[in-house]
Each structure stands twice: as C-alpha cells, then as structure tokens.
Amino acid sequence: MELAAFLQPGTEIHCYGRGISAFDVGMRRFISGDVISNTLLGYGLCICRERRRGGSVRCGSEETPNSILQEAGSKRRAARTADTVVMRIERSNEATERRALAKGSKRLYPRALLESLDVRIKQNEWESALRDKLRPTLEIFTALITVFTKSNLLKKAFEVFEQMRLFDGCLPDKYAYTTMIKGCCDAGLYDQAKKLFNEMMREGVEPTIVTYNTLIFGYGKAGLFAEIEYLLSLMEANGITPDTITWNTLIRVFGLHNRIPEMEQAYEGLLAQGLMADEVTLNSLIGTYGRAGLYGKMECVTDFMRRYSYPMTTVTYNIIIEIYGKARKIEQMDTAFKRMKAQGLKPNCITFSSILSAYGKHGEWHKIEKIMRQVRHYNAADTAVYNAAIDAHRRALDFEAMEKLFEEMKMEGVAPDGITYTTLIEAYGRVRKLQKARELQEEWDALKK
C-alpha cells in the first residue's frame, strides 16, 4: 500500500485479523520507539542516539576526527576568547607533541588546536598556527581542511589537500575526502564534488555512508536527481545500506523540489527497511505537503504527532505557522501559535516574523502591536522581525508606527539592512515624501560604505 493511502484517514483494513484504520497502519512504525537523529552532514559527522528507558547509545555510523575531537574536548567547555585560544595552543606545543604526536600514537590533536587554527585563519595568520614543532600528520591536515571549508576558503583547502600527498602517512583518507566533498557541495561546485568522489574510488578509498549522504544532499539541493539515482545504485552495488539520515535526506530534497511521489517512495523505503521515522522526517512531510497545498495530508501528520505525544518542537510549529500564514489561513495560524505557547515552547524570531508577515499581507494590521509586545516579552526581536512589522505598517499606511519601530530598532541595537531601508524608501516614495526618501537612501548608502 502506498503512503498516499496510509495518509487517508478512515480507511479500514485488516492486520492480523484485527480491523484498524489505515492511518494507524501507515504511522505504526513511528511509535515503535523514540529515536532522535541529529545530522551534521558537514565534516562527515553523524550522531544518532536512541533513547530507551533513559539510556543512550551511539549509532553505528561513521565517526570522524571532528566527532572524536568533540568528545575529547567535552570536559573543557569553559569559554575562552580568541586571543586566549591562540596563546594557549602556542604555550602547549611540547604537551601537544608528547600526547598527540608521539611515535605510533593515534590520538588526535586537542580541540584547542582546531579552535586555534580557526582563529588564525580568520586573522589570516594560519601558517603561524602550524609553525614551531608541529610535524604534519593526517589528522592535522584534515583539521586544517575542515577549518578552511568552514571559512569558505575552498581554494586554500584544495591547496592543503594536494600537499597532503607530499608527506609520508598523509594520503587523504575517507574523512579528508568527505570534508572536501562537503565543502564543494556547500559552494555549489557539484562537478568538482563528483570528481573528488570518483578520485576517491580510483584511489581505493572506500566512501562511507556519510560520504554518500553528503553527496545526496548536495545533489538534491541542485536538483540533480539523476546523480542521486546513480549514487543509490552504487550504494546497493557496494553493499552499503541506507540509514535514517539517507532516507531523511531524500525525503527532504524531494520535498524541496515538490516531487511528492518520489518523497513518498522514500518514506516507504524508510519504513520497508525497518527504520523508524523521527521528527526530521515528520517535519519534512509537514513542510512539503503544506507548501503543495495538501493541507489534509499535512494535518494527518500533525494529528498523528499529537495523538501519540510525539514531540512537536519549535521547528515543527514554525513550519506550520509559516504555511498557514502564507495560505491566508489566519485562524489556523493563530491556533497553532496558541498551541505552541500552551505546550511550553518559546516562540523565536522565525515564529514572529512569519506571523507579522502574514498579518501585514492579509490586512490583520490591528494585531501587529499585540504581537510586538510578545516579541519584546520573549526577547525575540531581530532584523527580520522588525522588517516584517515595518512592512505591515507600510501596508496599513501607518507612517507614525512605522517610524517609531524604525527608531526602536536602532535603539535596541538591531541593525537595519537593505530590506529595512527599501521598505521605508518605497513607503515614503508612494506618498510623495521625496525628501525623507532621499535622506534614507543617503543613510543607507553611508552604511554600506
């Protein structure tokens, strides 16, 4: 039975001789346990913990230098300034050599080293972070590549990646390749990511599930679905079984491109493999169905979450509020907002900007001030929230309230951006207050410099 049938409430079928609703059958696997997945497709990190009777275990997915570094540094969480980090690593060269660079040692560098590299790169002084007695190792090269890709310095990352081959014991491994592939995907260089993947295969470096998931997500964002099909067939040929992250990634990218049949097939694949969907899966389904105007299916998923006390997070409610707001379903949006607060969840800037935008575009201008009071109460004001409120007052032709918010924004230390000034300039231009519009344009031009 297809997922579309599962999501039709009221249909009666029989399972083990007992009549139950198709909705319950379709969602049965959702409630067989409580799994929380936290996916960091970047830098080859995957953490998946299964909560059972208060226990916690790590999943069998690939670990990376980053994940090990995070565990090693878990006892050193005290806040440090950038200068302190750099000074600390420079004072501890001998200890670093003794503990991390000893002959035969497989231990990674302390977390402080990665932080120091990050600081040095931002200060354009990364070479000094690697001077003194730190001899090149595979781990330090991987850490450096990670920081370069995080800092959008892909050219530098490629230079270091190529230099790895010049040192004994430093040939790129699966972690280094995956990190480079992730950097290429983030930069939109999908051809380069494909070349790295093919090179990885030629060099006999076996891709991990994290490598495949990273590429699938990158290709999915770009709509390269033929490449995704190739990767899935390659995984099958190499005996690599998709995990929950793989299926969630497929569900998400198909949903982003409104390819609902493929998204539902991916959902069925998840269940057929005996895996359990999590809140990431459900949020993706809610968002896709809502954006496609399939509110019945969307509400089936949200009803399921409430029926079985599945955690509806702030992210879930933000998706629902945005969808209802854009669809002019103000009453349903307000109901979702009330439920969110009644559940004890704290609305954030995304929540309020969606609500204010909906009120402004659909003529609910009398509700703007009430929402802004809640924004202040929850300390959830940011540039997007003020922009939505200012735009709502612009639509209502309430220039006094618009100017008041603009001044409040600056007094609160929230920086206006191009959208703020464009909204104000357009508003004054429409009512022929050209002098005011010119002053704002000059102010914005000065800020851009």
Which residue type, as a one-letter code, is found at position 366? H
Q: How confident is residue 363, by pLDDT bands cut at 50, 70 and 90?
A: very high
- Sheet hosting strand 55-58, strand order edge to edge: 35-40, 45-52, 55-58
Tell me what the mean pLDDT of segment 133-146 comes to.
80
Contacts of 46 (CB under 8 A, 6+ apart): 39, 40, 59, 61, 62, 67, 209, 210, 213, 245
DSSP class of 61: S
> Residue 379 class from Cβ within 10 Å (0-12 exposed, 13-18 middle, 19+ buried)?
exposed
Residue 79, pLDDT > 70, answer: no
Q: How confident is residue 307, by pLDDT bands cut at 50, 70 and 90?
A: confident
The residues pairing with 381 across neighbouring beta strands, listed in sequence order, are none
HSE-CB for 424 with a 13 A CA cutoff: 27
Residue 65, pLDDT > 80, answer: no
Residue 95, pLDDT > 80, answer: no
Q: How confident is residue 105, by pLDDT bands cut at 50, 70 and 90?
A: very low
Can you give the pLDDT at residue 110?
47
Report the share of the chain in percent with pLDDT over 70.
70
Q: How confident is residue 111, by pLDDT bands cut at 50, 70 and 90?
A: low
The count of residues in the chain is 449
Residue 73, pLDDT > 80, answer: no
Contacts of 88 (CB under 8 A, 6+ apart): 80, 112, 116
The phi-psi region of residue 434 (left if phi > 0; otherwise alpha if psi is between -120 and 50; otherwise beta) is alpha
DSSP class of 31: G
Q: Which is more confident, 270 or 119?
A: 270
Can you give the pLDDT at residue 107?
44
Place of tokens 């493929």: 262
Distances (CA, A) of 146 to 102, 120, 400, 409: 23, 14, 50, 37
Report the share of the chain in percent with pLDDT over 90.
59
Q: Does pTM top 0.85 for this prediction?
A: no
Separation of alpha carbons 371 and 408, rounded Å: 15
Contacts of 339 (CB under 8 A, 6+ apart): 317
Average model confidence (pLDDT) across the chain: 78
18-21 and 12-15: which strand pairing? antiparallel
Can you give the pLDDT at residue 203?
92
Tell me what the mean pLDDT of segment 396-404 comes to.
93
Tell me what the mean pLDDT of segment 274-283 comes to.
91
Can you give the pLDDT at residue 123?
52
- The CB density around residue 396, as the number of other CB atoms within 10 Å, is 17
Helix spans in 313-417 (H): 314-326, 330-342, 349-361, 368-377, 383-395, 399-411
Can you give the pLDDT at residue 71?
41
Q: By mean pLDDT, which of 101-115, 122-136, 211-225 is the weakest? A: 101-115
DSSP class of 83: H
Residue 43, pLDDT > 70, answer: no
Q: Which is more confident, 429 or 54?
A: 429
Residue 121, pLDDT > 70, answer: no
Give DSSP secondary structure letters for 167-184: STT----HHHHHHHHHHH
Q: How confident is residue 172, by pLDDT bands cut at 50, 70 and 90?
A: very high
Q: Are 175 and 44 in contact (CB under 8 A)?
A: yes
Can you give the pLDDT at residue 122?
54
Tell me what the mean pLDDT of segment 367-386 comes to.
95
Q: By mean pLDDT, which of 54-58, 378-382, 443-447 is the weakest? A: 54-58
SS3 189: coil
Tell me what the mean pLDDT of segment 32-47 comes to.
31
Q: Are 385 and 353 in contact (CB under 8 A)?
A: yes
Residue 8, pLDDT > 70, answer: no
Q: How confident is residue 136, by pLDDT bands cut at 50, 70 and 90?
A: confident
Using CA atoms of 243, 247, 250, 252 in order, give the dihedral in degrees to the nearest 10: -120
SS3 37: strand
Q: How confident is residue 250, by pLDDT bands cut at 50, 70 and 90?
A: very high
Residue 327, pLDDT > 90, answer: yes
Tell me what the mean pLDDT of segment 20-46 comes to.
34
Can you give the pLDDT at residue 361?
94
Furthest CA-CA distance within the chain: 78
Can you give the pLDDT at residue 297?
95
